[in-house]
């Protein structure tokens, strides 16, 4: 059986033009051995910034995310998810 997991996130964005959107997000979560161990103090907190542009071939999305402990990632997506 897998470990219990809990998480929460939020996102806020602003339209830059009719074809572009800039957004930021923040989240916290993790997995624990027992449900009673689930606390915000032991959760991993992270955030990110992203840009989505609508093109004739579909949306292009570029996101940069970071989390506690130096876990940084760059994401690129083409098309609908």
Q: What is the pLDDT of residues 11-58, one digit of tens each?
A: 889 999 889 999 999 998 887 777 777 777 778 889 999 999 999 889
Looking at beta carbons, which pairs linking 23-26 to residues 24 or more positions away fall under 8 Å? 23/49, 23/50, 23/51, 23/52, 24/48, 24/49, 24/50, 25/49, 25/50, 25/65
Cα distance between residue 59 and residue 43, in whole Å: 32
Return the closest-CA partner of residue 6 out of 41, 33, 43: 43
Q: Residue 4's pLDDT is what? A: 63
pTM comes to 0.69
Cα distance between residue 77 and residue 19, in whole Å: 16
């Amino acid at each position: 059986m897998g470990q219990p997991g809990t998480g929460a996130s939020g996102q806020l964005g602003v339209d830059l033009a009719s074809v572009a959107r800039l957004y930021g997000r923040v989240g916290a979560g993790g997995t624990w051995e027992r449900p009673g161990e689930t606390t915000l103090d032991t959760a991993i907190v992270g955030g990110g910034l992203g840009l989505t542009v609508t093109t004739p071939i579909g949306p292009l999305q570029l996101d940069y995310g970071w989390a506690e402990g130096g876990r940084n990632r760059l994401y690129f997506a083409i098309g609908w998810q």
